[in-house]
Amino acid sequence: LNFKIFDFTLSGCQIDPRSITLFSSIKYKLTLDYEPVERSDHSTVRVGDYLYMWGGDQPDLPKVHNNDKKKALSSLMEVYHLPTGRWEQKPTTGNPPLGIWAYASAAIGNEIFYFGGRCNHDSCFHNSLYSFNVDTFTWRELSPTTPHHGPMMKGYCGMVAFQLNGKDYLAVIGGRGPSSNNTPTQPNAKYQRLVANSKRTNEIHYYKVSSGKWSSPNVTGDRPPPISYFTLTSITNDCAILFGGATPDGDSNNTYIINFSHTSVNFSDLRVSKQKPQERSGHSSVFINSNFGPHLLVVGGYSKDDCWLLDVDKRIWKQLLRHCLNVAAYEKWWV
């Protein structure tokens, strides 16, 4: 497993607790003891001083819907302790999600939420929602996979947590999944047919944690087209930023500011500096809050190994390194 931690060196830098640290003055912290097996299409989520890495496409993952071997693999959580730089593999209890890779994840307090994902056989996708408690290491199914309601069964989407009047919500945006035997289409959403009986979408759904209900908000502003393999990063309690992704016109380098309210969501296509990253998908991003203002760090992507920093307030991109990392396609380092 090629895993690197970086410290960002802007004066007064603070990392959003829902994000992880990626970039620095090239200082690697390498683990010399136990390390997880290599994997892709997973997510690593920060809660406190720990990173929680689950699932992903792994060498020994069986190509089945479910069996004892798959459950054994998916019942393990890889935990990285940031202060000591050590990995530890820990068992979990309860039934983990069947969508073990290409899922979306987000943290609220001591719980990590996992939506959708691929099953690792044929074109099987899920639209289930699970929570994982980092104190008890217990899985809980909140919303089962179903073709009857909610977001479509899909992967390669984005999910972000937000809060309105003290209530916690999740927003699920975009993604791709099967074009048949799937949920009813969402009004006003668009769907792009792809090869191999699949489709890409720009669906947007809310999940209210306290009620356990899905809803479809009204969408205003510059709604992106059907999109997948993008990054969706929280920047305030009710605002997020979307960058890049695969669209009907190819890979994108557009930047959207997303504002959430109770019944609607507004997209604003951010007009940025002339110098900006090349179009990309399958990259990673992280929000950095510092005395210099809010910044978005973007790393790698499919056939990309550069590193860019966006000053969100000034709308200026700056290339930090042309060749910073050997970042594999669709590698996820963000929440």
Q: What is the pLDDT of residue 305?
A: 86
> Minimum mean pLDDT among 156-160, 299-303, 316-320: which range?
299-303
Q: What is the pLDDT of residues 155-205, one digit of tens each?
A: 999 999 999 999 999 999 999 999 999 999 999 999 999 988 999 999 999
pLDDT at position 1: 57
10 touches 294 (CB < 8 A): no
pLDDT of residue 96 exceeding 70, the answer is yes
In the chain, the percentage of residues whose pLDDT exceeds 70 is 87
For 13-46, write each residue's pLDDT tens digit. Answer: 333 434 433 333 333 344 458 999 999 999 999 9
Instruction: Give, in degrees to the nearest 5, the angle at Cα 46 between 27 and 239.
Output: 110
- Alpha carbons 230 and 285: distance in angstroms, whole number: 9
Domain boundaries, the chain: 31-145
Model pTM above 0.85: yes
Q: Could you tell me the pLDDT band of residue 4, with boundaries at 50, 70 and 90?
A: low
- CA dist 203 to 140, 183, 269, Å? 25, 12, 17
3-state DSSP percent of the chain in helix, strand and coil, to 5: 0, 45, 50
- The reported pLDDT for the residue numbered 330 is 45
Q: Is the pLDDT of residue 329 over 90?
A: no
Span 130-141, average pLDDT: 99
For the chain, state the CA radius of gyration. Answer: 19
pLDDT mean over 75-97? 98
Angle at Cα 296 formed by Cα 291 and Cα 302, nearest 5°?
155
The average confidence (pLDDT) of the chain is 89
What is the per-residue DSSP string for 258-317? EEE-SSEEEEEE----SS-PPPBSS-EEEEEEETTEEEEEEEEETTEEEEEEEETTTTEE
Mean pLDDT of 236-241: 98
Higher pLDDT, 89 or 122: 89
Question: Greater confidence, 242 or 14?
Answer: 242
Dump the DSSP string for 43-83: EEEEETTEEEEE--B-TT--SSS--HHHHHHHTEEEEEETT
Which residues touch 292 (CB under 8 Å, ≥6 apart)? 10, 11, 12, 311
Lowest mean pLDDT among 192-196, 223-227, 228-232: 192-196
pLDDT at 6 over 90: no
The per-residue pLDDT for 25 is 33
- Give the class (CATH, top level) of 31-145: mainly beta
